[in-house]
Amino acid sequence: MKFLVATTLSILVVSDITKNVASQSIIDLAAADGKYGTLLDAVTNTPGVLDAITDNFPVTIFGPTDDAFAAISSTVSGLTTEELATVLAGHVVPGVFTAADVVAAGCVELTTLAKTHVRVMYDGMSVMVNDSTVIQPDILGDGGVIHGIEKVILPGTFHPCPSMSSKKSSKKYSTKKSSSYASTTYYSSSSKSSKRARA
């Protein structure tokens, strides 16, 4: 009987902990982490950016660390409010894309809230977002997921996924989501034929 009571209490405690973790927003989780203060300050203090993110929940945020922003502090300080808003929106994609999704797909092209594109690619060792490496994947919470990256994504760093069309064993998948913001292109190796699907 004592064992049954103890087990029941343990289950209830674990359930409460899980519920509390799940109820935390990705913004709260980023704040609690301690490495994303510059990003959060910029998102909060740049007009329209936070609203654009929350209005499109769930989202995937590629979050530069404080060190990433510090490395280009002179560039950031020279941006107008509108330019900074565009850069920040260029780190956010409607929909949830985990690291496992990218590893399985190989390479994914995503459209951001800024209507720019990012290439998210698994190179066999790590996940890259344009020229930035994901150093902290899958911070999951209410509102989507954050992937910590070690460089700020700047204009001019996007390159399309490597084309496999020259190979006989290639297939290209193109998926466009119902959101006006999000479109995704997947590249993977398969049969000769190619097709496009609309979600």
Helix (H, G, I), strand (E, B) or coil at 99: helix
Q: pLDDT tens digits for 35-93?
A: 999 999 999 999 999 999 999 999 999 999 999 999 999 999 999 999 999 999 999 99
* CB of 176 closer than 8 Å to CB of 184: yes
Q: Which of 153, 187, 151 is nearest to 167 (CA)?
A: 187
Q: pLDDT tens digits for 80-118?
A: 999 999 999 999 999 999 999 999 999 999 999 999 999
Q: How far apart are CA 182 and CA 199, in angstroms?
A: 11
The mean predicted confidence, pLDDT, of the chain is 80
Q: At what angle do helices 81-89 and 37-45 cross, to 10 degrees?
A: 120
**Apex 190 CA angle, 189 and 191, nearest 5:** 140
pTM: 0.75
Q: pLDDT tens digits for 125-157?
A: 999 999 999 999 999 999 999 999 999 999 999
Q: 68 vs 10, 12, 36, 105, 127, CA distance in Å? A: 41, 41, 10, 27, 17
